[in-house]
Structure 1
């Protein structure tokens, strides 16, 4: 596996979702949670999605309950929360682990491609972001502190 497109993940209904279908798009992959201090980033992510989706941006949110138990809900509860509170229209995928023995293989790949500070592989907290170019390469990893609006110029550049 050498590109993000090589992976198959699960959508919110638990059905296979081949990332190959996003080939040629810029993708922002984020591990999300409903009860986190960074949860308001949903609004910024949705703003980016609305601005760039028709130009080839896809955002995938992967709920994760590994950080302070901040995503305890069912798949349905998570979807309702995102929609009602933040008007989220980008895909929220199946809840996953991003670290440990049961980590989603896509996350294992992305962490290997782009390590965090000091070469750290593990995801540090909710709302860590991976930016993928049109060729399926992981071009950048951003911390939870990176606000979605600050990613705007990077997305615009990759979409050109």
Structure 2
């Protein structure tokens, strides 16, 4: 729907997502901006993030994953995966890059891992972040080699998915999710 305070879809579609689509969903993976839009709540700390996940659970969603938030610091973002019975947070290292499609890739990876791990939310979150980090870092590294100074053109920030097939199939994660509920 959007990110960084900007809608990618027409604003008049928001009520359709919020009121019609969300109650039908089993799993959603909004970023902070989208989660705030869907609930009308603000997220400036972990308690408020948990209030948002709870509000989305109350709409009928079984698994809520906040794919990224600004709750971290200068070097990390925070992701949150929540079910009615458990909740995990994960610190995601920031990469000095802006890649198009990371939210879509996050959703696809999380859904695949959720199925493959038989609904293990913690492991699904860890594997998703491990894969995403590998792909984004590799994409940035290759783009930076091509452009040694200045801003990297968007065409060079196309996610290196095929080149990172091994990371998609068998991610290596040093980042662990921490149970918070």
Answer yes or no: same fold by TM over 0.5.
Answer: no
Higher Cα Rg: structure 1 or 2?
Answer: 2
Structure ranking higher in helix proportion: 2
TM-score, normalisation: structure 2: 0.27
TM-score, normalisation: structure 1: 0.29
Higher relative contact order (CA 8 A, sep 6+): 1
